[in-house]
Amino acid sequence: MVKVVLAFVAVALGLAWGLDVLQAPPLAPESPVHPLWLARQEAMYLSGLLSIGLMSLAMYLATRPAWLETPLGGMDRVYRTHKWAGILGGSFAIMHWLVEMSDDILKSTIGRAGRLPKEKATGLLDSMQDLAEDFGEWGFYILLVLLAITLWQRFPYRPWRFLHRAMPVIYLLLAFHAALLSPLDYWLQPVGWLLGLLIAAGVYGALRALLGNIGQARRSTGEILAVTQPAADIVAVRCRLTGSWPGHRPGQFALVTFDADEGAHPFTIASADQGDRTIEFRIKALGDHTRQLAGLLQVGQSVDIEGPYGRFDIARINRRARQLWVAGGIGVTPFLAWLGSLQGKAANLPEADLHYCTRDRDNDPFVDELTRLCAALPAIRLHVHGAQQGEKLDAARLLKDVPAGQAAEVWFCGPGGLAQALRGGLDKLGWRRLRFHQEAFVMR
C-alpha cells in the first residue's frame, strides 16, 4: 500500500504536468527556441513538481492522521509512507538542482541562443520571486544535509530527532519557492490545482508541527504504578492514565514520552484493556534511551501517552484461514495482549498456532507467562523455538501442520531479519493462499 500511495501521487503529478505540455502550442518551424533548452525547462518543472508534491505528502502524514489508518493498514504504514515520501521528495529536489545546474553545459555546447524567454513579473511579484529563489537555494542545501544524515543509519537518533524538527521550516521555504516560481498558467489548469492542494496540505502539516499540537487530541497523561525487570535487558512498566484515555484494542501501540527531552517512542501495549485505564509496556533495551529506562523510571513518575494506534488487532484475523502467529523476542508483546484479552472466552476462541522464537528457551522470561496464558486457551497451541537449543523456526516448520492448499494467515511481530527469512521461505514453498501481516517500527 505504501508503494501504491507514492506511485499514485507521482503519477498524478506526472499526468497533470504532461497535460500542460500537450496543451502548449507547438513551436513554429522558424522558432528560435532550441529543443534542448525546452527539454531542460520542462525537466525542471517536472522534477520540481514531484519534489514539492511528495514533500507535501510527507509533511501532511507527519500529523499522524488517524483516518488513514484503515485505508493504509495502520499507523506504521502511515509513518512508512511519510518516511519514503520525504526521501523521494528530497531525491527529486536533487534532480531539480542538477537540471538547474545544467545550463552551463548547454551554454558551452549549443550556446545561449534558443533559450526560452523568462516570464516577466513586475513590482512586488518580481521581488517575491527573487526572494523565492533565495529561499529555494537555502532550503535545498539544508534539506540535502538532513537527507544525508537520515539515510546514514549510524548517525545517533537523538541529534537526528533534534535536527529533524527543522524540517517544517525547510518545507515552508521550499513551498514558497515552488508556489512563486511555478508558471503562472499552471494555476488555471489541473497541474496547478493539484499542486495547490498538496501545498495546502503540506503547509497545514508544517504549521501543526511548529505549533507542537500533532496528536494532541489523542494524548493522555498518567503516572507509573510499577517498574520491574523480568530480565536484564527488559523493563516492564505499568501505568494508570487519566479519564481521557479512550481504551485500546489488543495489539495496538502508543507513543510514550517518559522524558520530554528524549521525546516519544512507539511501544506496543502488552496488556489487554480491562476498563480501568491501566496499561503495561514491556520494553527491550535496544538503544541508548531504552537501556537507561530501568534506572530512570520511578513509581509515581508522570508519563505522557499518545494513542492508541495500529491495526495489529486480533479482531482483524480471518477466522476462515489457518492462524499462524509468530513472535520474535520482544515482538511477543502484542500477543501477550491478545492472549490476555481471550482469557475467560473459551467458547469463542480462534484456533491458532503461536510460535515464539527466542535465543534461549530455558532462560527466557516470557516462556512461563506464555505457557500459563495458553494453558487456559486450549485452541491456542504454543510452540517455543530456542536458537541455542537448535530449534530455529523456518517456513517449512511454520507450515508443517497446515494442510496443503488451506488458506493461512501469518501475524508476525519480531526482528526484520526473521520476517525476511520467513517471507523468502514461504515464497520458495509456493504457498499462494497466505497473507503475511507485519507492523514496522523503524523510526528512521
Confidence of residue 36 (pLDDT cuts 50, 70, 90): confident
444 inside domain: no
- Does residue 414 share a domain with residue 389? yes
- Does residue 259 share a domain with residue 178? no
Q: What is the pTM of this model?
A: 0.87
**Element of type H or E holding 192:** helix 190-211
Position 442 pLDDT exceeds 70: no
Residue type, 97: W
- Does residue 127 share a domain with residue 24? yes
- Does residue 428 share a domain with residue 374? yes
Are 309 and 71 spatial neighbours (Cβ–Cβ below 8 Å)? no
Helix (H, G, I), strand (E, B) or coil at 358: strand
pLDDT tens per residue, range 9-31: 999 999 999 998 887 766 556 56
288 inside domain: yes
Confidence of residue 125 (pLDDT cuts 50, 70, 90): low
What pLDDT score was predicted for residue 201? 97
430 inside domain: yes
Q: Of the residues 190, 211, 232, which one is the last residue of a structural domain?
A: 211
Are 279 and 242 spatial neighbours (Cβ–Cβ below 8 Å)? no
CATH label of the domain that carries residue 415: 3.40.50.80
What does the alpha-carbon distance between residue 14 and residue 195 come to, in Å, rounded to a whole number?
11
- Does residue 279 share a domain with residue 164? no
148 inside domain: yes
Cell of 281: 509496556
As for how many domains the chain has, the answer is 3
- Does residue 98 share a domain with residue 198? yes
CATH label of the domain that carries residue 303: 2.40.30.10
What is the arithmetic mean of pLDDT over 33-53? 88
What does the alpha-carbon distance between residue 117 and residue 99 come to, in Å, rounded to a whole number?
17
What does the alpha-carbon distance between residue 352 and residue 34 come to, in Å, rounded to a whole number?
68
Give the C-alpha distances (Å, rounded to integers) separating 127 from 115, 134, 181, 321, 413.
Answer: 23, 11, 12, 64, 55
Strands 234-241 and 219-231: antiparallel
What does the alpha-carbon distance between residue 346 and residue 42 come to, in Å, rounded to a whole number?
65
Residue type, 332: V
CA 19, 20, 24, 29 dihedral sign is negative
Domain, as residue range, for 159: 2-211
Residue type, 45: Y
Position 119 pLDDT exceeds 70: no
Confidence of residue 88 (pLDDT cuts 50, 70, 90): very high
361 inside domain: yes
CATH label of the domain that carries residue 30: 1.20.120
Residue type, 87: I
- Does residue 370 share a domain with residue 255? no
- Does residue 358 share a domain with residue 281? no
What does the alpha-carbon distance between residue 73 and residue 227 come to, in Å, rounded to a whole number?
32
What pLDDT score was predicted for residue 141? 87
Residue type, 278: T
Q: Of the residues 211, 232, 250, which one is the last residue of a structural domain?
A: 211
Are 72 and 148 spatial neighbours (Cβ–Cβ below 8 Å)? no
- Does residue 144 share a domain with residue 13? yes
**Mean of the per-residue pLDDT values of the chain:** 88
pLDDT tens per residue, range 345-397: 766 788 899 999 999 988 898 999 999 999 999 899 999 999 898 889 999 99
pLDDT tens per residue, range 391-419: 899 999 999 888 877 889 999 999 989 99
121 inside domain: yes
Read off the DSSP letter of residue 155: S
Nearest to 256, CA basis, from 308, 305, 214? 305
Q: Which residue has the higher pLDDT, 129 or 46?
A: 46
- Does residue 333 share a domain with residue 297? no
Cell of 2: 505504501
Cell of 42: 520542462
What is the arithmetic mean of pLDDT over 273-300? 88
- Does residue 223 share a domain with residue 203? no
What pLDDT score was predicted for residue 432? 74
Cell of 106: 548547454
Confidence of residue 439 (pLDDT cuts 50, 70, 90): confident
pLDDT tens per residue, range 260-275: 877 888 999 999 998 8
364 inside domain: yes
Position 167 pLDDT exceeds 80: yes
By mean pLDDT, which of 152-166, 376-390, 419-433 is the weakest? 152-166
Helix (H, G, I), strand (E, B) or coil at 10: helix
Cell of 215: 496528536
What is the arithmetic mean of pLDDT over 56-84? 92
Q: Among the ranges 230-234, 241-245, 252-256, which has the highest mean pLDDT value? A: 252-256
What pLDDT score was predicted for residue 290? 82
135 inside domain: yes
What does the alpha-carbon distance between residue 105 and residue 61 come to, in Å, rounded to a whole number?
38
Sheet architecture: strand order including 234-241: 265-268, 253-257, 302-309, 219-231, 234-241, 278-284
- Does residue 334 share a domain with residue 302? no
Position 443 pLDDT exceeds 60: no
How many Cα atoms occupy the beta-carbon half-sphere of 244 within 13 Å? 11
Q: Of the residues 187, 211, 235, which one is the last residue of a structural domain?
A: 211
In terms of phi and psi (left: phi > 0; alpha: psi -120 to 50; beta: otherwise), the region of 166 is alpha
